[in-house]
Structure 1
Amino acid sequence: MSFAGGVVLLQGQAQLPDIAMIGLAAAVFASLWVIGRHFIGSKAGEVGRARAVWGFVRGSAAIGLAFVLGFGWAALRADWRLADELRGDLEGVDIELTGYVADLPQALDEGVRFRFEPDAAVEGVPGKLLLSWYRPRGSTEAPPAVKPGERWRFTVRLKRPHGFHNPGGFDYEAWLLERELRATGYVRSGARRLEAVDIRAMDAVHRLRDAVRERFTAVLGDAPHGGILVALVIGDQRGIPSEQWESFRRTGLSHLVAISGMHITLVATVMGAALGGVWRRLPWLVLRCPVRRVQALAAVLAGTGYALLAGMGIPVQRALIMLFVVAIAVYRGRSILPSRVLVLALLAVLVTDPWACLSAGFWLSFGAVAAIGFVLGGRQHGAIGWRAAVRVQLGISLALLPLLVLLFQALPLLSPVANALAIPLVNFVITPLALLAALLPLDFLLHWGHMATVLLMVWVEWLAAFEPGYWRQPAPPMWLGMLAMLAVAGAMLPRGTPGRLAALAVLAALLVWPPPRPEAGGFVVRVLDVGQGLAVHVQTASHDLLFDTGPPYGAHADAGSRVVLPYLQALGVRSLDGVVLSHDDSDHVGGARSIAGALDVERWWSSGEAAAIAGDVAMVTPCVSGMRWNWDGVEFAFLHPDGEAPRPAGGRHDNDRSCVLRVANPAGVLLLLGDVESAGEQAMLARHGEAALAADVVVSGHHGSRSSSSAALVDATLPQAVIHSVGHRNTFGHPHPQVWARWAAAGARNWRTDSQGAVEAVFAADADAGVGLRAQRLREPRYWHGR
């Protein structure tokens, strides 16, 4: 456990430590352990007090040594992996690469995405890439089909790993690091399929997986739940629609369609039991090899085969490592203590993959196994049969409660009920039928499996529709989550143990943790990192306003669903008092429908054609200069557009009709400019005068474009900070260097979301406290950010 603690601590570091210092610390602990052991074995160690002292020294040194070794091992592995990076001068330029398509390609709305491994070392180019190949702009013709194991020559443009950084958001850079994908990019031109020069084992596996996926798709056609069967066999979950994923999340069944320990263990157990049953009936075989050893070997082979078919993803690798630990213990005839197996599996997983602790699946899988061992072990009269199954399910649900709240800010209350039917149906009916259909060319097996899946989904969707069955809450502090985990352990102790009811009180505190909000008269603004777009959350003591909703990310995803909603859920925001759509550009209104479909919005404001977009879901009030209101002592006022201003003719952009919002309290003024350009800025200055535009924090107009932030506006506002909401390496060059310099010359500090993540400005209720700013990447830095 000390080794695991060292690994986990390393993954929270902002910078990698000095390996030499870690080696020195390991040498110190090792020396103390040797000295302690020596004195315990000497005559001086025979004295009771001395023996106890040196025993404590040796034990503490062993714990410290294990901790330092875990910390050092994770640091060494991280240093090796980060060394395989894209050289700076190769970022954003055309590079010709030849290599192999690895893993299953992923179909996109406008192309395909796949892992690519150059077949020869190219100086400055990492060994594993994630490439996207889009169809030409304006064309309806898709790129050529890309198959696993094919060898291609491409001209590509690459960039270093980069992802959004927002409170409650997903760390895409950590995800890429764990999977050893050290650069991303897209195919430019010069694509040519080449003849493979060698045969690689995993390429053959991925071709088999691709063939299984194509056969399932051909047999099932547009069957609504075919993606579930594909996921259960080859681990490719991309065919499961988002609506079905939402049903699984709300009922706590996501683990059933993600190949993990339960699936690997089931296949291994069935094959081990089957071969063992045959083996023990043949005495001449039993005399040559004990049944338990044969069962262990069969389980390992079956589990490995299933893991290969599933693509050897990170969760599958963890499950396979745990299976190997158990099989080795059985093969060697050792008594299997669940706690020892769990610790050895934990050690093996973290030695193999130090980044495993960054994934939610790591904590949930080990937590579930620990809960099973805790519930079934150490009792004189253990339950059997269905009573044991009920006790295990309830124990797992209780044990994982703090983790689910910490990781997802949600709790599927109907999970025990849903799993009671889903686990046996998936494990003993649907999965066997799907696996048999993959091995045998019998289409009826697939149809039977799909019919069983239809029955499952009727049950799942009925439970998911019960709104009180899905508990949502804001993200609690880490210290409360850790305390709740200890409380869970106490609550699961045998009856009669003192303090069990007190432990449940801690769990209740976790579930009713109130979200922190500004005090009356103050407000907080967060400019979210949504890429090349804009989404700003303004929060007062009891009200929430969203100014713009970010860009679309394709036909089926947008900033509303990917960024804004997870962020609001982490803060405990369940409804919005207002949404402003500044104008109709897609990078400002792309997430509007996702927001409207997930949250209750009391009021919408918009300008121009954006009114039609918001009008699809609600009544809309035009934003007009002079409109103002007060929430919790904070003044809100629209400064633009003028209701009588003509709309642009000839299909021109209506940037100068953007809603401009001023938010003020005694501590300062926030100015949200939308995409307003120079003409709109001049109109505001003429209408309101310079004093009305003075501000402490400005969210720059049009993302810092040269067409906005005129010298007149900058001189009128003179803020202490200006925030540019821009996309990483955006093609427009926003913010423009001239604009950046102009704000800096006026005394403002420039902030940008692409390199600093979401930027937060806190306007205190007390005028003397002023305004404080901080950025997400600076608030929670990690050693892999920007690498």
Structure 2
Amino acid sequence: MLSYLALASGIMLAQIWQLPNLIAGLLVIFSLLAAGYLRYKTNFHAQAKLHWLLALSLLILGFSYASLKINWRLQQLIQQPISQLTLQGYLTTPATLKDNNYYQAEFSITRGALSGQKILLYYPAQEQLNAGRIYQFSANLQPLNLVTNFAAFDYGQYLIAQDISASAFMQGSAELIKTSYAPSAQINRLRVNLINYLEQTLIGQKYAGMAIALVTGYQQFIPSTQWSIFKNSGIIHIVSISGLHITLVAMLAVFILSLILRYVLPPSKIPQQIILAWLGVCVALAYSLLAGFSIPTQRTFYLLLLMAYLITRRRYIPLLNKLSITLSIILILDPFACRNIGFWFSFSLVATIFAMQSAYQQHSSKVLFWLKLQLAMLLVSLPLTLFLFSSYPLIASVANLWAIPILGNLLTPLILVSSLSHWSWLIQFSVQLLNYAMLPIEYLATISPYRQAQPDLITLLIAYLGVILILLPNALKGKNYLGLIMFCALFMVVPSQRPNYGETQIIAFSSPKAGFTLLQTQNHNLLIILSRDPQQLAKQLEYTLLPYLQMQHISQIDYLLTNQAESSSATLLQNQGITLLNQTLPETINLDGVNLHWSQDHEQLALISQGHAETSYIGTGYQPFNETHWDNVVIGLALAKLDWLFSAQVNNLLINYAKDDRATKALLDNINLPATQSYDLIERGSQKIKHTTVVEG
């Protein structure tokens, strides 16, 4: 197991820092030869020193190999915009309707200089691109947006992990060329057909989107209100197709075939156990491909594949060894897999289950073992959940007592079998059962989750060292007390320090569709929201601003300032659990020694903030003030001409703008702009200003 963990650790280390290709290539050859020689030597000499040298060589092998793979993947990215490029290829994922006027889908290119690469394609809603068909069209290609906001989901890195090279926007119409018989195209065709059939069959069903997600892994039909229920109750793993679903379906197929082999077919020379093992692998592969082959499904499939191989070879290895081999296989095939959140939850929780089974199951009653397992799962999942989401559903253990046996073990196989059989009455009946089964979950989801400031990486590692001490079966004196103290470091995290009296802290977020700026004084939070299209606010707020508020445990906004006369911003904040004390800001006010004055002209808005030794501007670029010397200028969303900046003296200039706003982009690139420091929020991501200094988040 040590060897496989060393190899996997090397691959994960390469996510932080990569070697140049030449050095990485030489190290791959050297470490591969060294690992082969040391592996041969350990067959004859069981010395601990040789095992540690083998582990070191595999660590270097994994690190150098992953460096090569990551460098190659990054070199495939489109670095500059390309206009009117002719593309030919097919869709590899179901298309998702965005804003009711265009579709988004992953597209595999089959001809031309970019042949073999995948892009994220956007095309008009009136265009009908069918899965399993090859199309040709003209498109404008744009590099991926690789910047992110504080604590927000890194969508750019996610796209790189999905092997996406660029974003493409279709120009004109697409021409149908022929049918594609590529496996990924045909799998997507089957998946899309099943999604469309279920969508039509389940019209009017409350949890139709959840049922479609359980069968196909396609989650776009699940409304945001239901996602909140899943998150607050801690059952998201039930909704996302995971190892539980794959294992259940494989076991169901194995059970049915075992009956056929026993009572219908004549005896075979091949042992029944081997036949059933490989049938389970085939069923797991089919379901995994239908569901999009996510990280949890990959883990389960490779684990079942390994177990079938071991059964065929009549070999036995411990469960944790099997899991470590599966971990190595996944990372070798795709080093980017460890950038997926599901990767860490999937392997950490399954490793916990396997470790508890090995250590305690034989020495405890079933009830006692179950209680120990629940405690271990809580201890392992809590630190990672707080680190990623700054919250934890306290009711998760109770909700899963109902969700796992009823939703997972009973209803998921029923919905899957009825969907594949295309018996509409059975599909509707099973989803109606799902509607009733979700009633207890809906009630439990009304209990607010525990929230706190996000712990840093060091605190996370200390907490996990404490978890290891607590779960160690050896009776080391005082280990549980020490482990508990280390674990409790999670709850000693405090939010970032507030500004002093008379000073401000400004956090400006990057979003081309809406502007979010948070101004903090010693005891108050003022939120400025700027937008052209109020319809875009909900999604932008959820993915841009909300993660930072949760990370810093900010649950109250004292004042809201927006450029929209009838803004839904207040409702959006309250729906996310953020208390808003005042929906308007007085035109002139002093907050903790900071004078604030704002002015508005239709959609144009400007705010001036004057503290003890700082003067700041926040707004759309509209400038009604007489001030010409600015310590900080934050253009939350550029909606006005910014020519006044050339006659002003600015220390820190932060600008957020729409991607098609070439005038603002040109202004930022102007070397004559009289600003000491200029920050393009679209290209550099969110920034924080403390007093008069831009600092890292």
Match of 2:656 in 1: 725
CA deviation after TM superposition for structure 1 residue 164, in Å: 4.5
User: CA offset at residue 775 of structure 1?
Assistant: 5.8
Aligned equivalent of 2:687? 759
Structure 1 Cα separation of the partners of residues 308 and 227 of structure 2:
33
1:737 Cα offset (Å): 3.2
Matched, 1:110 2:89: no
1:26 Cα offset (Å): 5.6
Partners in 2 of 1:154 and 1:737 — Cα distance?
Answer: 31
Alpha-carbon distance in structure 1 between the residues aligned to 2:92 and 2:344: 28
1:37–1:433: structure 2 CA closer, same or farther, 3 Å change rule?
closer
- Maintained 8 Å contact 1:484/1:510: yes
Match status 1:484 vs 2:488: no
Question: Where in structure 2 are the equivalents of 1:654-669 lying within 5 Å?
Answer: 654-655=603-604, 658-666=605-613, 668-669=614-615
Matched, 1:399 2:327: no
Residue in 2 that maps onto 1:138? none
Question: What one-letter code is carried by the residue in structure 2 that aligns with 1:670?
Answer: S
- After superposition, the Cα gap between the structure-2 partners of 1:463 and 1:598, relative to the gap in structure 1 and judged at 3 Å, is same
Q: CA deviation at 1:349?
A: 0.9
Amino acid in the other structure paired with 1:630:
L
- The 5-angstrom pairing of residues 77-226 of structure 1 reads 77-86=69-78, 88=80, 91-108=81-98, 109-120=100-111, 122-123=112-113, 127-134=117-124, 142-196=125-179, 198-226=180-208
Change (3 A) 1:552 1:384: farther
Quote the offset at 1:397 in angstroms: 2.2
User: Is residue 322–residue 345 contact of structure 1 (8 Å, CA) maintained in 2?
Assistant: yes
C-alpha contact 1:418 1:463 (8 A) present in aligned 2: yes
Aligned with 2:597 (options 628, 633, 638): 638
CA contact under 8 A between 1:33 and 1:59: conserved in structure 2? Answer: no
Equivalent in the alignment of 1:257 = 239
Alignment of 1:323 onto 2:323: no
**Match 2:666 to one of 737, 740, 743:** 737
Alignment of 1:404-415 (within 5 A): 404-415=385-396
For the 8 Å contact 2:466–2:483, the answer to whether it is kept is: yes
Is 1:312 equivalent to 2:265 in the alignment? no
Aligned with 1:239: secondary structure?
A: coil
**Equivalent residue, structure 1, for 2:677:** 749
Offset, 1:566: 1.1
Change (3 A) 1:389 1:33: closer
Which residue identity lines up with residue 162 of structure 1 in the other structure? N
Distance 1:531 1:555 in 2: 10
Cα RMSD of the aligned pairs, angstroms, is 3.1
Q: Secondary structure at the match of 2:591?
A: strand
After TM superposition, the structure 1 stretch with the greater mean CA deviation from structure 2, 552-561 or 261-270, is 552-561
Matching residue within 598, 618, 622 for 1:676: 622
Residue 314 and residue 709 in structure 1: after superposition, are their counterparts in 2 closer, same or farther (change >3 A)?
farther
Deviation at 1:24, TM superposition (A): 4.7
Q: Which residue of 2 aligns with 1:609?
A: none
Q: Quick one: which amino acid aligns to residue 595 of structure 1?
A: L
Alignment match, 1:240:
222
| Identical pairs, percent | 22
**Which position in structure 2 is the counterpart of 1:650?**
none
- In 1, the alpha carbon distance for the partners of 2:474 and 2:37 equals 44
Change beyond 3 A, Cα 1:711–1:114: closer
Distance across 1 between alignment mates of 2:390 and 2:690? 24
TM-score (norm 2): 0.91
Give distance in 2, aligned partners of 1:507 and 1:721: 41
**Which 10-residue stretch deviates more, 147-156 or 693-702?**
693-702
Cα contact 1:697–1:721 (8 A) shared by 2: yes
Deviation at 1:125, TM superposition (A): 7.0
Structure 1 CA distance for aligned equivalents of residues 265 and 173 of structure 2: 65
User: What residue in structure 2 maps to residue 537 of structure 1?
Assistant: 518
- How far has the Cα of 1:366 moved from its partner? 0.5
TM-score by length of 1: 0.81
* Residue of structure 2 in register with 1:351 after alignment: 332
Partner of 1:473: 452
Compared with structure 1, are the counterparts of its residues 304 and 698 closer, same or farther at alpha carbon in structure 2 (3 Å cutoff)?
Answer: same
Look up the equivalent residue of 2:679 and give its one-letter code: W
- CA–CA distance in 2 between the matches of 1:148 and 1:119? 15
5 Å-filtered alignment, 1:427-438, equals 427-438=408-419
Structure 1 residue 734: deviation in Å?
4.1
Q: What amino acid sits opposite 2:482 in the alignment?
A: A
Aligned partners of 1:501, 1:520: CA distance in 2, in Å? 39
Q: How many aligned residue pairs are there?
A: 690
Aligned pairs (5 A) from 1:353-432: 353-379=334-360, 381-383=362-364, 388-432=369-413
Q: Using the alignment, how far apart are the partners of 1:125 and 1:283 within structure 2? A: 48
Contact 2:161–2:336 under 8 Å retained in 1:
yes
Asked whether the 8 Å contact 2:517–2:529 carries over to 1, the reply is: yes
Query: Quick one: structure 1 residues 228 and 700, their matched pair in 2 at CA, closer, same or farther if it must change by over 3 Å?
Result: closer
2:8 and 2:25 map into 1 onto residues whose CA distance is: 18
- For 1:189, what is the secondary structure of its paired residue? strand
How far residue 541 of structure 1 moved from its aligned partner, in angstroms, is 4.1
> Residues 106, 392 of structure 1: CA spacing in aligned structure 2 closer, same or farther, 3 A cutoff?
same
Residue 608 of structure 1: aligned partner: none
- Once the two structures are TM-superposed, the CA of residue 354 in structure 1 deviates from its matched residue by 0.6
Structure 1's 697 and 496: CA in aligned 2 closer, same or farther, altered over 3 A? same
Equivalent pair of 1:552/1:558 in contact (CA under 8 Å): no
Give the Cα separation in 1 of the matches to 2:164 and 2:66: 18
What is the CA–CA distance in structure 2 between the aligned matches of 1:116 and 1:420, rounded to whole Å? 41
Separation (CA, whole Å) in 2 of partners of 1:290 and 1:38: 33
Query: Do the aligned residues in 1 keep the contact of 2:519 with 2:527 (CA within 8 Å)?
Result: yes
The answer as to 2:519 corresponding to 1:598 is: no
Is the contact made by 2:232 and 2:447 (CA closer than 8 Å) also made in structure 1? no
Post-superposition offset of 1:34 = 9.0
Contact 1:7/1:350 (8 A) holds in 2: yes
Measured in 1, the distance between the counterparts of 2:386 and 2:117 equals: 37
Tell me whether 1:292 sits opposite 2:292 in the alignment: no
Q: Is the 8 A contact 1:159 1:185 kept in 2?
A: yes
> Structure 2, unaligned stretches of length 5 or more?
none
Cα contact 1:213–1:230 (8 A) shared by 2: yes
- The match for 1:137 is none
Q: Does 1:511 align with 2:491?
A: yes
Say whether the 8 Å CA contact 1:164–1:171 is kept in structure 2.
yes
Counterpart check, 1:502 vs 2:463: no
Q: For residue 234 of structure 2, what is the amino acid of its counterpart? A: G
Cα distance in 2 for partners of 1:69, 1:63 equals 10
